[in-house]
Amino acid sequence: MGKDMNKKVLVIGGGGYCGSLLVPQLLEEGWEVTVFDILVWYGSEHLPKGNPRLKIIQGDVRDTAAVAAACAGNDSVLHLACISNDASFELDEHLSTSVNLDSFEPVVIAAKKAGVKRFVFASSSSVYGVSDSPDVTEDHPLVPLTLYNKYKGMCEPLLLKHTNEEFVGVVFRPATVCGYAPRQRLDLSVNILTNHAVNKGKITVFGGAQLRPNLHVQDYADLCKLLLTAPDEKIANQVFNCGFQNLSIMDIAKAVKKVVEEEFPEKGDIPIVTTTSDDLRSYHINSGKIKRALGFEPTHSVEDAVRDLCEAFRKGKLPNSFEDDRYYNVRTMKAVGAK
């Protein structure tokens, strides 16, 4: 860890999909965790509220004064909050702009002023958009296709322009996350296809040739823990890709088919149906840098993610998986009238 740092962290957006798995693990590892999250969209029942080391603050990341107050006493900030899933096309564009871009630099400045020593920002590997490069490294040009990708890429330098020896900043660009977490999302490629296979008995593939890097949600959580504890000099002002398997959407569908047929043999042969897609994002990321710098390598596969989801479905943890808006970010935000 950085010099003189205690295990006190503010997780902005800690009530989300990745945060719901990460926060309990941080608590188990002795951290004092403050979650700052809007919570009204997806609820908070999935957070371990009984833990005395957990403090939950319901607030909007656009309320800089509230974020500044939440930063007080914390050594680290882990910034996970965003309107994800490219919702800006279906929702008010102002929502994505105000949350994902306009609020970001004021939060960085507030954290620095509050004496935070480390700021970890979750960007996205989707900043690369479409690339024919066989291996996209961190210095590859950013060719965003959507406002979500564009704003993530624009936030990165806004953090790094404020860093110094006392305020260390690091950016990570995770691949598309998959697998089971207490606040489940079923609007991400591996999770979508698994839900279809288990609950509809067929897998519908949109396009199929697009390449996507994937990252198990547990590897995402492990990555966050590493970036909170790694020595300053190894992470200061660095940008790290983090993905595991670069697979085409069709390859993901085949992996899902194989695992679901093993887990639910009574379903018999699960067909894969192909249809056209206007989602052109396709890129193959290289995660060699983070392995060289920090020794980090994901250890969970897409197949592991599918198996975890199968178990969750079998145990009834994900009821009404097509009808319930809470598994789908855009649908939830529409339902609550987010703005």
Write the single-letter amino acid at 285.
Answer: I
Structural domain includes residue 153: yes
- CATH value at residue 261: 3.40.50.720
Looking at residue 93, what is its pLDDT?
84
Q: Name the residue among 280, 216, 286 with its Cα closest to residue 249.
A: 280
Structural domain includes residue 3: no
Write the single-letter amino acid at 188.
Answer: L
Please, what's the largest Cα pairwise distance for the chain?
A: 59
Structural domain includes residue 1: no
Percent of the chain as helix, strand, coil, to the nearest 5: 40, 20, 40
Looking at residue 133, what is its pLDDT?
86
The helix/strand/coil state of 325 is helix
State the average pLDDT over residues 235-239. 98
- β partners of residue 172: 122, 240
Looking at residue 89, what is its pLDDT?
56
Domain that holds residue 185: 8-336
Question: Is 80 exceeded by the pLDDT of residue 1?
Answer: no
Looking at residue 116, what is its pLDDT?
98
Q: At what angle do helices 17-28 and 217-229 cross, to 10 degrees?
A: 50
- What would the pLDDT profile of 176-186 be if each residue is shown by its tens digit? 999 999 999 99
- What would the pLDDT profile of 307-326 be if each residue is shown by its tens digit? 999 999 999 999 999 999 99
Structural domain includes residue 2: no
Percent of the chain with pLDDT over 70: 97
Total domains, the chain: 1
- What would the pLDDT profile of 104-136 be if each residue is shown by its tens digit? 999 999 999 999 999 999 999 989 988 888 899
Q: How many CB atoms lie within 10 A of CB 99?
A: 23
The C-alpha atoms of residue 119 and residue 104 are separated, in whole angstroms, by: 12
The b-or-e profile of 50-61 (16+ CB within 10 A means b, else e) is eeeebebbebbb
Structural domain includes residue 216: yes
Structural domain includes residue 318: yes
Question: Is 60 exceeded by the pLDDT of residue 247?
Answer: yes
Its pTM stands at 0.96
Structural domain includes residue 18: yes
HSE value, Cβ hemisphere, 13 Å, CA-based, for 264: 25
Average pLDDT, the chain: 94
Q: Name the residue among 122, 95, 130 with its Cα closest to residue 14.
A: 122
- What would the pLDDT profile of 258-311 be if each residue is shown by its tens digit? 999 999 999 999 999 999 888 777 889 999 999 999 999 999 999 999 999 999
Phi, psi of 46 (to 5 degrees): -85, -5
State the average pLDDT over residues 153-177. 97
Looking at residue 117, what is its pLDDT?
98
Q: At what angle do helices 249-263 and 189-200 cross, to 10 degrees?
A: 40
